Amino acid sequence: MAGNQPAIWFPAIRTGTGTDVFTERLAAALRVQGLRAEITWLPLRAEYAPWAVPVLGAPEWATVCHINTWLHPRFIPKHLPVLATLHHAIHDPALRIYKGCLRTAYHRFWIAPIERRVLRRVDQVVAVSQYVADMAQNTLCDVPMRVIYNGIDTKLFCPGRQLRQPWEPFRLLYVGAWKPLKGVDLLAPTMRELGDGFELHYTGGPAAENDRAGMPANMHDLGRLSGDQVIAAMQNADAFLFPSRSEGFGLVAAEAMACGLPVVATRGSSLPEVVKDGLTGLLCPQDDAPAFTQAIRRLAADSATRREMSSNAVVRARSAFSEHRAIDAYYETYRDVIAGFGGGVEDHD
């Protein structure tokens, strides 16, 4: 990374979600590569009451501004080239039954208009998956987009050395929020049908309290896990179970693959871009608990196939989803945006 190096300013709303983590990791990784990259955090009210938050000027050293598509246009500088990352596909009509009336209205009447203005105004849009790009072009506005998959640290997320014994139950792992959108209601019926010889460790915590009465004995709550604990749990499992109904990218599935876990996931949203059916895991129809059960039994019964999928999963995670690959792609995009500054469509709203 020589020559005219980009200097990236991230004005971002602190939401306490994965987008915060994305911004922090990207900025840190860029700094490791010798680039100047700094975040200016805005309070959460900047999302729903942007007029209540003062507009901060961009730092003089910045040569490019990188934002989330949810950032209100009043916070976007006019004198810098701007790149926006599109993280979600929340406007997918199929998700409305999982969001409720209030959240659906918030997304439709507040967030969607903001995103349309942002998408038209910025110089480059990056989507975290082709699914996200396609959904935005169909539901928001059809502007050119690049796809850059989120990167993972494959030095941290890697296969473990702990060997599980053949007499131990086949151990499945679920890591994610305890929400219907993630398909957590499919976990209990799947594990109940699998029965003896199988166990599921899951991250539920207090959010899963109301569902525990209906869970079979082979489900075990890990509570909330830190980063190191997630890696340890992945390294001590046989396969990753992920029946999520919608993922913008499916980062946790990629992390599990990097740890050598075949992934049993839903054939939908972005997950087929992450998990290659029959090669790095098995994909099942959405909401089809018997299909998930059958896929898991297949993995448990065929150790040779499981080992091959494990090896393929590690190779794919390192080649397609490594942090270095993502950083290189963003670096080239920053360079292109700076070189072509002035090509964005001005927002007059």
CATH of the domain at 106: 3.40.50.2000
The pLDDT of residue 56 is 87
**Domain check: are 285 and 265 in the same one?**
yes
- pLDDT (tens place) for every residue of the chain, 349 residues total: 444 689 999 999 999 888 999 999 999 999 999 999 999 999 999 999 999 999 988 999 999 999 999 999 999 999 999 999 999 999 999 999 998 899 999 999 999 999 999 999 999 999 999 999 999 999 999 999 999 999 999 999 999 866 667 778 999 999 999 999 999 999 999 999 999 999 999 999 999 999 999 999 999 999 999 889 999 999 999 999 999 999 999 999 999 999 999 999 999 999 999 999 999 999 999 999 999 999 999 999 999 999 999 999 999 999 999 999 999 999 999 999 999 885 444 443 4
- Number of residues assigned to the chain: 349
- HSE-CB for 104 with a 13 A CA cutoff: 10
Residue 214's domain comprises: 170-320
Q: Do both 244 and 287 map to the same domain?
A: yes
Q: Same domain for 333 and 308? A: no
Same domain, 331 and 205: no
Contacts of 188 (CB under 8 A, 6+ apart): 211, 214, 215, 216, 219
Residues 146 and 11 in one domain: yes
* 18 and 147 inside one domain: yes
- Do residues 183 and 296 share a domain? yes
pLDDT reported for residue 162: 62
Q: Give the total number of structural domains in the chain.
A: 2
- Nearest Cα neighbor of 286 from 304, 267, 305, 312 is 267
For residues 277 and 137, state if they share a domain: no
Q: What is the pLDDT of residue 18?
A: 87
